Amino acid sequence: MEWNVDDRIKVVATNRKATHNYAILERIEAGIALLGSEIKSIRAGHITLKEGYVSIEGRQAWLINVHISPYDPASLGNHEPLRKKRLLLHRKEILRLQEARQQKGLAIIPLRVYLKRGLAKVEIGLGRGLKKYDKRRIIAKKDAERDMRRALNRRG
């Protein structure tokens, strides 16, 4: 977990696979409707975005397949770990996301979950899936840059 002092943001979880598998074209901040035991568990950092995605059903956006571990002290009134969570977005934003997914074939992926002024927020991204050769090209470019930095550091 890391703190961004300027905005009082505490990053709780990031989806590293998202930037590896998708070219992120746009990022949107959304609130999450949570139960009490879920927010306690998120504050403790027990959340996984790895397999998560956003689905739009009717006029609602839902965060699906995001695992929030049960909060042990709330054993009796605990939540279901893979329960789908409603995203708090404006109607225009939901319609724009739905249109992008249907017409352009983009995926809607959760990128990171953070606490902003005590409230849980999720940053979702509109992304286009990368092909295997695109991923290889990106990895080769990163390797070349790393090798150049190492060579420059050895000389200096």
Average pLDDT, the chain: 87
Q: Find where tokens 């699906």 sit.
A: 64
Q: With 90 as the cut, is the pLDDT of residue 62 above it?
A: yes
The pLDDT tens digits of the residues spanning 94-153 come to 999 999 888 888 999 999 999 998 899 999 999 988 888 778 888 898 899 999 999 888
Structural domains of the chain in order of their starting residue, each with its CATH number: 2-130 (2.40.280.10)
Q: Tell me, what's the pLDDT at 4?
A: 60
Paired strand residues for 120: 115
Q: Find where tokens 């571990």 sit.
A: 69
Q: With 70 as the cut, is the pLDDT of residue 1 above it?
A: no
Residue 62's H or E segment, with its range, is: strand 60-64
Q: Report the distance separating Cα 11 and Cα 112, nearest Å.
A: 7
Name the least confident of 5-14, 61-70, 81-90.
5-14
Position 88, amino acid: L
Q: Do residues 89 and 98 touch, judged by C-beta distance below 8 A?
A: no
